Amino acid sequence: MKKEDIPQDGGALNKLTKEVVYAVDSAGNYTTELSTGWEVKATALDVAWKDIEQRIENARQQVLNNEASPLLYFMELRLMDVGIVSAYTGFWKWTVKQHLKPAAFKRLSENKLKKYAAAFNITVEELKTMKVHEE
């Protein structure tokens, strides 16, 4: 792609960051340039975020229907999986999976709840109620 052909389309992230891309300058040499975005990429990101929002809502409904513990909701909200939560909390993966069950979650000690809350960067109360006060 030539330097003058680098897309500068607006997108969801263009106010926060720019992307480094490679381009060919007038002398035919490769160089790096900044791009504010590309419409096709922005559209793809929008579709991905809609999917993530749907997964978060599905997790919230599962918790409200007593089919899963609030851990599932916060895992989806924070884009984490069992392995990541396990690494942050120090719990075994199979333990985290057990805690995804409502009955097991209700029996958790305050110390274990604190570990989960810290991993999700929330309070224990927010963990229990799924009411998050983001700054």
Q: Which residue has the higher pLDDT, 46 or 126?
A: 126
Q: Where are the domains of the chain?
A: 3-37, 47-129
What residue type is 97 in one-letter code?
K
Per-residue pLDDT at 57 exceeds 90 = yes
Looking at every residue in the chain, the average pLDDT score rounds to: 88
Which residue is listed with tokens 């069992």? 82
User: Structurally, what CATH architecture does the domain formed by 47-129 represent?
Assistant: Orthogonal Bundle (1.10)
Which helix (H) or strand (E) segment holds residue 30: the answer is strand 30-35
pLDDT (tens digit per residue) in 62-112: 999 999 999 999 999 999 999 999 999 999 999 999 999 999 999 999 999
Q: What is the pLDDT of residue 6?
A: 67
| pLDDT value of residue 11 | 63
DSSP state of 54: H
